[in-house]
Chains A and B, each alone.
Chain A
Amino acid sequence: MALSTPAAHARAEAAYRPRSNRLGLWLFLASETFLFAAVISARYFTSGTEIPQEANQALAVAITVVLLASSVSAYLGESSIATDNRRGFLRYVSITIGLGVLFLIGVGLEFREAYDFFPPGTIYGSAFVTLIGFHGFHVLSGVVALTVVLNLGRQGHFGSQDYWGAEGVIKYWHFVDLAWVVIYPTLYLI
């Protein structure tokens, strides 16, 4: 009887929703993992374990460091809002967005070099451009989502008791970083 009242229903939903949201996000990330696995395995099937000598190792290391650093700043942003430190949250999310944009600039440079040395018409070039483009699009969508979270944070949304929106986007950002952990050796080291 008590559960039928609107207040009790709202309490039950507030307790249940974050758990179901979190599970839903993990299922989404699992489906994304299958997509990345398909594209990554295509690179090994078509090109074996040979990488072109022209692959720009310095640029690859640089953007890898940038993306790993962005994951650290994203984690610090989430930790800040979880402890009601709004100023830290806004600062670290801004840094994450900046690093994401820097990564995308690096991806743009990669694309330019790829078109010169191993164009999409070649087997390796096709795998390279598909994988870099697929991942780059995920980074771009992450930057857009983080910008939305930053603006909501500026307007006073989120707090230590309710920051699911920020947490979900930051988890997605970590997933993009996780994908790069496999893509970087796949395209540059193996």
Chain B
Amino acid sequence: MTSGNERASALQSSAHQAELRGRTRLGLQVGLGLGVLTAIEFVIAVSIEDPLVWLLPFMLAKGWLILDYFMHVRDVSGEGGH
């Protein structure tokens, strides 16, 4: 019985480690994406006169990345798990 419990615990721990690796990779990719978009924003702002319209898509893209990947906005209408 104890051996069965230990095996189940080891399996759960292994699943958690795999999930954490996946989430870590995703978090770093989203962070990199945010950094790249910020750099593009800066280049546009220094090279274009009155850049408001040009910057809007980048602001929206960054906002969407944070809302969807970091804040899990889609869970609001679902069951709430992620």
Tell me the dominant secondary structure on chain A's binding face. helix
B69 cross-chain contacts in A, Cβ below 8 A:
75
Q: How far is the CB of A21 from chain B (nearest CB, A)?
A: 9
A18–B79 alpha-carbon span in the complex (Å):
10
**Chain A, range 37-65, C-beta contacts under 8 Å to B:** 49, 57, 61, 64-65
Interface of B is mostly: helix
Contact, CB under 8 Å: B38 / A71: no
Interface digits, B41-82 against A, CB 8 Å rule (1 contact, 0 not)? 110110000111001000100110011011101011001100
Complex-state Cα separation, A188 to B55, whole angstroms: 12
Chain B, interface size: which category?
A: 35 or more
Q: Taking the nearest CB of chain A, how far is it from the CB of B8, in angstroms? A: 14
B28 touches A (CB below 8 Å): yes
Residues in B with CB closer than 8 Å to A69 are 31
Decide: A190 near B52, CB < 8 A? Known: A64-B38, A68-B35, A76-B24: yes
Selecting from A80-88, A114-122, A126-134, the interface stretch reads: A80-88
- Report yes or no: B45 in contact with A189, Cβ–Cβ below 8 A: yes
Determine which of A80, A85, A181, A189 lies in contact with B66 in the assembled complex, contact meaning CB atoms within 8 Å.
A181
Contact B17 A83 (CB under 8 A): yes
Is B23 part of the binding interface, using a Cβ–Cβ cutoff of 8 Å? yes
> When the two chains form their complex, are residues B31 and A68 in contact, meaning their CB atoms are under 8 A apart?
yes
How distant is B78 from chain A, measured CB to nearest CB, in Å?
A: 9
Contacting pair B16 A85 (CB below 8 A) = yes
Nearest residue, chain B, Cβ from A29: B71
Residues of B within 8 A of A (CB): 13, 16-17, 19-20, 23-24, 27-28, 30-31, 34-35, 38, 41-42, 44-45, 50-52, 55, 59, 62-63, 66-67, 69-71, 73, 75-76, 79-80
CB-CB nearest 6 A-B residue pairs: A189-B45, A72-B31, A79-B23, A83-B16, A83-B20, A75-B27
Since A57-B42, A82-B23, A189-B41 are in contact, a sample of 15 more A-B pairs with Cβ atoms closer than 8 Å, ordered by chain A residue number, is A19-B79, A26-B73, A26-B76, A61-B38, A65-B38, A75-B30, A76-B24, A76-B27, A79-B19, A79-B23, A79-B24, A174-B66, A181-B66, A185-B55, A189-B55
